[in-house]
Chain A
Amino acid sequence: MPDEQPEGADEQPGDDGPEVAAEDPRALAERETALLASLQAVLGDAIVEHGDACGDLVVRVRPDAWRRAGEVARDELECDYLSFISAIDWTPATRPAGDTSGDTSAPVQPPETTFGVAGSTGRFQVFARVASTRRHWGVTLKCDVAEGDPRAESWVPVYPGADWHERECWEMYGIVFDGHPALRHLYLPSGFEGHPLRKDFPLLAREVKPWPGLVDVEAMPDEAGGDDGGEA
């Protein structure tokens, strides 16, 4: 009685496809190819590029096909689960390599602009991850966003969970999602100015005081020049 497992959970209606063989590393590549083929069959030339990120399929679609791509992933690939929607700013980091002024503790990124898997045409890109809870596969979708007027189609009509993700993306990157019911601040206070995850937004804590390590050179309380707040 205590170990009773409710019935009905194991039934997967309509799931007559082959079992996903995860043991064979080559099966993944085949699975990817098949996923890409089903996306291409519906989206056609709306797919700009595709790539492989350590075994995962990454597909970049035209900006005007962004919502359509979400619908196709949901309906054709059975990706019923929205993992996240986010964005990326491909500008090299604020501090160029060779600049040794100020805080030098942060890792130095290469100075040239390079784009990730499946490429990009410009600075901003929106990307999302969806997965299938029944088929156990997933796909990463990307779409370029114009730098001057960053906009993308909202996915709220496709995945209701997109609501919070898009609000976060809007406040962090300033990307407007057309068709979103209410783009308002999610994490930040409502009067906040600026878009913190853009690469040109400084990490103010580091601007005010270099960190870490440099605090060690402060004089001890009993040393010359130290404050007198210590034990007398």
Chain B
Amino acid sequence: MVLSMGPQHPATHGTLRLVVRLDGERVVAADPVIGYMHRGYEKLTEFRTYPQITTLVNRIDWLSSFANEVPFVHGAERLMEIEAPPRAEYIRTTLTELARIATFLLFLGEMGLQVGAITPPFYGFRDREYVLNLIEGATGGRFHPNFNRIGGLKEDLPWGWVAECRQAMQKVLDSCDEFEDLVVGNPIFEQRTRSIGIIPGSVGASYGVSGSNLRASGVDWDLRRDGEPYLSYRDLDWKVWTHPDGDSFARYWVRLQETRESARMVLQLVDGLPSGPVMAKVPRIVKVPPGEIWVNTENPLGEMGYYLVSKGATGPFRVKIRSASFGNTSILPWLLRGCYVPDIITILASLYFILGDIDR
């Protein structure tokens, strides 16, 4: 039997369609159909100036928009050989980690919902609101901050923000303990997720699976620590979490630990916030010298990268956008083969993709 899930199926978080060939309850083959939300960003970037493009890239992974801007402005900055002031880099790091916490809190709740627990999403949405308020307080936008400028940030943090941030991080840490009690220790949740959708580390890497999904398969690789040094991660005391199992449970567990770790990082960041300007001296009209650069960062969903080709104009000649969810979902045909229908939901939820991040 051929079962067509989506593009409007609630478990697909948007417009992903899965054409699943079934033998009884067992999946024989699964073919994801994507592109329902393709907006042609790679083409559009060739028609925009650098400052205009940050608006576009905000909308790739819309849950962690701020994190999408960072590699793009870094690419332009490195080609122009300018550096954002330390305070700007610290605030960028803080907001990136806040975006990660907001993204993961939604996941921690939603994954519960997908396997049949109704309470966690309420907790997730409630606690994410604290973080979104912080992002809105600093940038003016809950979802699409567009706060990065080439050479720094639009403006400094508002008065009183740091104190509010400390309080919110305490709430996030408490919230993580709640999720640990409510979900991780729940026998039904364990039954639905343990040994479901196992990705061996080497297979995951060869498909381009990255981020927490790969770390949940025991691959100890985090671009914040192992990549080209970026932002202020070198100044922080933190650890990379991995889990050897590679199943849906491991992916949930790793993200839960990473949410905690990010909250601790934010606390360190606001404590060590240097003073000074948030914007470097940048010409009024941004022209990037000819050159090529590959910039990649550890975004909440995985490796996000831009291959930027400049010919010295006010806009890029070519931008290849490497988005995390594209790699993470391209393993689906391999991963879904042989599993049962209800496990499809668990696997989709645990891989945690954003449609805009697949389709770009």
Chain A residues within CB distance 8 Å of chain B? 2, 5-10, 12, 22, 53-56, 58, 80-84, 86, 88-89, 93, 105-110, 114, 116-117, 127, 129, 133-134, 136, 138, 140, 159-161, 163-165, 172, 185-189, 196-197, 199, 201, 203, 206
Query: Quick check: B245 and A83 within 8 Å, CB to CB?
Result: no
Contact yes or no, B44 A161, CB < 8 A: no
Q: Mask for B174-192, Cβ within 8 A of A = 1, else 0?
A: 0001001000000000000
Task: Take A54-B291, A129-B305, A129-B307 as given contacts and tell me if A88 and B326 are in contact as well, using a CB distance cutoff of 8 Å.
Answer: no
Chain A residues with CB under 8 A of B238: none
Given known A-B contacts A84-B208, A84-B320, A203 and B44 have beta carbons under 8 A apart: yes
B interface residue count range (under 10 / 10 to 19 / 20 to 34 / 35 or more): 35 or more
Interface members, chain B 294-312 (any A CB < 8 Å) = 294, 296, 303, 305, 307, 309, 311-312
B309-A160 in contact (CB<8A): no
Shortest beta-carbon distance, A8 to chain B, in Å?
A: 5
Cα A58 to Cα B241 in complex, Å, equals 31
Asked if B220 is at the interface (CB within 8 A of a chain A CB), the reply is yes
Q: Hey, which chain B residues are within 8 Å of A81, CB to CB?
A: 205-206, 208, 210, 221
B66 to chain A, nearest CB (A): 22
Q: Is the CB of A80 within 8 A of B38?
A: no
B315: Cβ under 8 A from any A Cβ: yes
**B34 on the interface (CB 8 Å rule)?**
yes
7 closest A-B pairs by CB: A107-B315, A187-B35, A9-B242, A161-B207, A161-B208, A187-B38, A133-B221
Contact B359 A187 (CB under 8 A): yes
A6 CB contacts on chain B under 8 angstroms? 242-245
Q: B43's contact among A9, A58, A133, A203, by CB below 8 Å, is which?
A: A203
Chain B residues within 8 Å of A196, by CB: 40, 43
Is A164 in contact with B326, judged by CB distance below 8 angstroms? yes
Interface contact A53-B293, CB-CB below 8 Å:
yes
B residues in contact with A199, CB < 8 Å:
46
Assembled-state Cα–Cα distance A147/B351 (Å): 39
Q: What does DSSP make chain A's interface, helix, strand, loop or mixed?
A: loop
> Measured between alpha carbons, how far is A196 from B47 in the docked complex, in Å?
13
A106 touches B243 (CB 8 A): no
- CA A23 to CA B337, docked complex, whole Å: 44
Query: Do the beta carbons of A80 and B206 come within 8 Å of each other?
Result: yes
Seen from chain B, the residues whose Cβ lies within 8 Å of a Cβ on chain A are: 34-35, 38, 40, 42-44, 46-49, 78-79, 177, 180, 201-203, 205-210, 214, 218-221, 226-229, 241-245, 290-294, 296, 303, 305, 307, 309, 311-315, 317-318, 320, 322, 326-327, 330-331, 334, 359
- The answer to whether residues A107 and B313 also contact, given A10-B220, A136-B226, A136-B227 and a CB cut-off of 8 A, is yes
How many A-B residue pairs have C-beta atoms within 8 angstroms? Tell me.
150
Separation of A149 and B201 alpha carbons in the complex (Å): 38
The answer, among B34, B210, B218, B311, for a CB contact under 8 Å with A9, is B218
* Shortest CB distance A124–B (Å): 12
Among A8, A106, A114, A161, which residue has its beta carbon within 8 angstroms of that of B330?
A: A161
Interchain CB contact (< 8 A) of B294 among A2, A9, A140, A197: A140
Contacts of A114 in B (CB 8 A): 290, 311
Closest chain B residue to A52, Cβ basis: B292
Q: Which of chain B's residues have a CB closer than 8 A to the CB of A117? A: 291-292
What residue in chain B is nearest A196 (Cβ atoms)? B43
Question: A186 contacts B35, CB within 8 Å?
Answer: yes
B214 & A83 in contact (Cβ 8 Å cutoff): no
Contacts of A164 in B (CB 8 A): 326, 330
A5–B244 CA distance with the chains assembled, in angstroms = 10
A54 and B293 within 8 A (CB): yes
CA distance A6 to B245 in the complex (A): 9
Question: How far does the Cβ of A39 sit from chain B's closest Cβ, in whole Å?
Answer: 17
Question: Are B320 and A22 closer than 8 Å at their CB atoms?
Answer: no
User: Given the known A-B contacts A7-B244, A55-B228, A58-B292, are A93 and B334 also in contact in the complex, defined by CB atoms under 8 Å?
Assistant: no
A85 CB to closest chain B CB (Å) equals: 10
